[in-house]
Amino acid sequence: MPDLLQLQVHDLQVELLTGVYSEETHLPQPLRISVTVDLDVPERFMPDTPLGVSKSYMDLKHAATDALPKDVHFTLIEAVAEHICETLFVSDSRVRRVEVRIVKLAIAERDESIGITLVRHRR
């Protein structure tokens, strides 16, 4: 089993057009998005290892925020997660696995977390 590095960005809050029901479809919905990426790594990280050997956390944040189209209505939050996964796979060939967790904040009644987790592996 090869070594890997997991990069994580958790609890990003994003407003996005998503939903199936009529009360959801006309306004952006608040989502909480967390992303974990498994990345190929070198044999060792030395004190002077440059950032390019790893990956910037900001790439994960970008995929879950600015890279999401604001003018597209995603019927399912699964499609939002799929878009994030594809963005990360396309941006870096070292990405082996992406896990995206999305919580729909608007439907929570008592601070529960209602949502999905999608895990995709590079094919």
What's the chain's average pLDDT?
92
Q: What is the mean pLDDT of residues 52-57?
A: 87
Contact by Cβ (8 Å): 107, 114: yes
Is the pTM higher than 0.95? The answer reads no
Vertex 109 angle, CA 107 and 113, to 5°? 65
Topology adopted by domain 4-121: GTP Cyclohydrolase I, domain 2 (3.30.1130)
Residue with tokens 């949502």: 115
Segment 22-43, tens digit of pLDDT: 666 778 999 999 999 999 988 8
User: What letter represents residue 95's amino acid?
Assistant: V
Q: Residue 79 has what pLDDT?
A: 98
